């Protein structure tokens, strides 16, 4: 039987033993979900990571009925289905090795806004953490920043509330399906977020409950879809520390607010700073400066100079890109160079040592 592409996209998330990494590899090879299901066993096996057994599982899959029910639910509630190849899919996630195959999104926020940060922290925040969060959001409000958090009690809720108060678009990333809301006490807040141009995002289909094991999965989306992670308050263990580690692994910037050494709610942030896993900030302006988001003074055009250093092919590609662009983020260099992350990083390091490029705040690079 033939189904529309959106049904095949939903089905791809339901195939046993085919997780996000393999689904992306298959999508890169075949271009569409329908083409994956229509491919022969031999063609499927030509994809890295797809064994004969897994190819057989894909070929044998025929449980499309739940996918049709899911699609009916999405249409009824005006929820967007975002697939890996969709224009509205958060592009920053595509720089991660394990982006969700599909995302469910309700709202009008631009998930590919020019500046996206997440604000996270403990569920049991102090008055200090509450005030820090309010002041941070207020200071970011004039700078076109999309703020993301997890809709949980504590700092997450405070971040979203502060966004609503300051009319800043904010997206809540959920650890469950969009047929429910956890915690239920945030139902009014969620409506306000939607009314003010924000949104609710999840990779979990309807019927998925907010089970404990879903939260680390949710946290990787929070970390991966943003330019930076800001940890307000947290103890040494907890979801915020997991998100910070994930953000580091995705090559994202991480920042933390320091706190008193005797305060358990600041032990995690202080540890991140002490271990050089997070940059120390004390206000929004310091964050904007670190991310190179403050208005730059107008520069006089400078005469193009030639590089007299002999560069290898990889180094030349990077140098040429930075010649055409005044400065580029490391993720953009990876994408535009066509090199894998390790090769591009090696070329950048070599260029730094030769004094050809310099690293700027926010993991930006430019020619010296």
Q: What is the CATH number of the domain that holds 341?
A: 1.10.10.10
The answer on 61 and 139 residing in a single domain is no
The answer on 253 and 201 residing in a single domain is yes
* CATH number of the structural domain spanning residue 113: 3.40.50.450
Whether the per-residue pLDDT at 308 is higher than 90: the answer is no
The answer on 283 and 232 residing in a single domain is yes
From 55, 75, 95, the end of a domain falls on 75
Side by side, the strands of the sheet bearing 364-367 are 328-329, 364-367, 357-360
Whether the per-residue pLDDT at 1 is higher than 80: the answer is no
**What confidence score (pLDDT) does residue 303 get?**
41
The answer on 235 and 325 residing in a single domain is no
**What confidence score (pLDDT) does residue 304 get?**
46
pLDDT tens sequence across 222-256: 999 999 999 999 999 989 999 999 999 999 999 99
Q: Could you tell me the CA-to-CA distances from 121 to 51, 199, 234, 258 in Å, in that order?
A: 41, 20, 5, 12
Residue 87: both structure tokens together: 């224009």
First vs last Cα of the chain: how many Å apart?
60
Query: Would residue 219 count as lying in a domain?
Result: yes
The answer on 234 and 319 residing in a single domain is no
% of the chain residues with pLDDT over 70: 96
> Which residues constitute the domain of residue 6?
1-75
Please confirm whether the linkage preceding 183 is cis (ω < 30° from 0): yes
Concatenated DSSP letters for 132-154? HHHHHHHHHGGG--EEEE---TT
The answer on 206 and 120 residing in a single domain is yes
Least confident span in 195-199, 252-256, 279-283, 312-316: 312-316
Query: Would residue 181 count as lying in a domain?
Result: yes
Q: Is the pLDDT higher at 337 or at 340?
A: 337
The answer on 262 and 131 residing in a single domain is yes
From 52, 75, 98, the end of a domain falls on 75
The answer on 344 and 208 residing in a single domain is no
């Amino acid at each position: 039987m033939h189904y529309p592409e959106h049904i095949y996209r939903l089905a791809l998330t339901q195939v046993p033993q085919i997780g996000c990494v393999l689904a992306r590899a298959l999508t890169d090879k075949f271009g569409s979900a329908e083409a994956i299901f229509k491919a022969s066993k031999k063609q499927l096996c030509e994809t890295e990571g797809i064994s004969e057994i897994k190819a057989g599982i894909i070929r044998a899959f025929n449980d499309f009925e739940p996918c049709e029910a899911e699609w009916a639910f999405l249409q009824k509630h005006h929820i967007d289905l975002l697939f890996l190849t969709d224009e509205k899919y958060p592009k920053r996630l595509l720089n991660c090795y394990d982006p969700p195959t599909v995302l469910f999104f309700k709202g009008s926020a631009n998930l590919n806004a020019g500046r996206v940060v997440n604000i996270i922290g403990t569920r049991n925040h102090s008055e200090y953490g509450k005030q820090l969060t309010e002041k941070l959001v207020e200071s970011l409000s004039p700078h076109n920043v999309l703020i993301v958090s997890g809709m949980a009690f504590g700092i997450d809720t405070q971040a979203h509330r502060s966004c609503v108060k300051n009319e800043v678009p904010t997206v809540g990333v959920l650890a469950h399906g969009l047929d429910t809301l956890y915690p239920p006490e945030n139902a009014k807040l969620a409506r306000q977020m939607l009314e003010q141009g924000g949104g609710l995002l999840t990779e979990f289909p309807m019927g998925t409950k907010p089970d404990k094991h879903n939260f680390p999965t949710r946290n990787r989306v929070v970390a991966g879809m943003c330019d930076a992670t800001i940890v307000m308050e947290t103890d040494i263990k907890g979801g915020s520390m997991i998100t910070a580690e994930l953000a580091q692994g995705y090559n994202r910037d991480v920042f933390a607010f320091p706190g008193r050494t005797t305060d358990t709610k600041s032990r995690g942030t202080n540890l991140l700073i002490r271990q050089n896993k997070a940059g120390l900030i004390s206000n929004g302006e310091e964050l904007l400066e670190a991310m190179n988001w403050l208005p730059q003074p107008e520069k006089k055009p400078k005469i193009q100079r030639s590089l007299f250093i002999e560069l290898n092919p990889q180094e030349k590609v990077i140098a040429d890109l930075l010649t055409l662009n005044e400065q580029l983020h490391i993720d953009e260099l990876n994408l535009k160079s066509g090199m894998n992350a390790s090769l591009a990083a090696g070329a950048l390091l070599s260029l730094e040592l030769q004094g050809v490029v310099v690293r700027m705040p926010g993991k930006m690079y430019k020619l010296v």
